[in-house]
Structure 1
Amino acid sequence: MEINALAYHETMDTHELLNFKTNCLIRSKLMQGICFDNDLKALMQKDVAQSVAAINELKQLYEKARTLH
């Protein structure tokens, strides 16, 4: 019997990762506005793109989460 859902501890871990990557995204976007170095700004833009991709991937996993409902 195959269960296609996350266990409760996996759900919590996924939630924590989603929060972390969201925080990374917010920080990079905010720091881009006050950064004057073009190389650093480009690096932060790359981090934003990677964070968005990671968040989308984590959201797909999070849809398989078990809840108490």
Structure 2
Amino acid sequence: MRANLGVHETVELHELLVFKNTCLTKANTLSGLAQDEALKTILDADLTATKKEVQDIQGFLS
């Protein structure tokens, strides 16, 4: 799929991947620190969704 992307699109996907990895790290850290069960549930759902998004973006870049 990468052959079909322009240089600017590849760079933007890399920027998005860096942002999503930062979000993943933050949600993972906060999930361990959170004491409220509702907040933990939200953070766990966010972790699951963000992991899928990171895999999708990596699929575009490979």
| TM-score, length-scaled by structure 1 | 0.83
* Long gaps (5+) in structure 2: none
Q: Percent sequence identity over matched residues? A: 28
* Long gaps (5+) in structure 1: 64-69
Q: Give the equivalent residue in structure 1 for 2:53.
A: 54
Deviations 1:24-66 (A, max 9, x none): 0000000011100000000000000000000000001011xxx
Instruction: Please provide the CA RMSD for this pair.
Output: 0.8
Higher helix share: 2
1:23 equivalent in alignment to 2:32: no
TM superposition outliers: structure 1 runs of 4+ over 4 Å: none
Determine helix, strand or coil for the equivalent of 2:32: helix
| Structure of higher CA gyration radius | 1
Q: Give the equivalent residue in structure 2 for 1:66.
A: none
Q: Give the equivalent residue in structure 1 for 2:9.
A: 10
| TM-score, length-scaled by structure 2 | 0.92
Residue correspondences, number: 60
